[in-house]
Structure 1
């Protein structure tokens, strides 16, 4: 395998690892959560899931 081919394989693997990291970070941020607010109108609970 030539050096250019080896560099191409390394670049593709690096791009795949970075892409998977970004994807998993976005999935982690999109988890459902609950927001509890207390104001002058009382207590309100909002869920985004």
Structure 2
């Protein structure tokens, strides 16, 4: 494999890692601010703020 091909593979892997990191961060930030649960104990509402 030529050096340019190796650099291309490394660049693609780095882009994939950065993209996955951004995706994971956005998924964590997209959590709802209010959680409503209905169970045997009744209704409970939890808020993040």
Partner-residue secondary structure (3-state), 1:31: coil
Taking the aligned partners of 1:32 and 1:24, their CA distance within structure 2 comes to 15
Structure 1 segments of 4+ aligned residues over 2 angstroms from their partners: none
Query: Could you tell me which residue of structure 1 aligns to residue 8 of structure 2?
Result: 8
- Find out whether 1:24 has 2:13 as its counterpart: no
Taking only aligned residues, the RMSD between alpha carbons, in angstroms, comes to: 1.7
Query: Could you tell me which residue of structure 1 aligns to residue 38 of structure 2?
Result: none
Taking the aligned partners of 1:13 and 1:27, their CA distance within structure 2 comes to 21
Taking the aligned partners of 2:10 and 2:24, their CA distance within structure 1 comes to 21
TM-score by length of 1: 0.66
TM-score by length of 2: 0.66
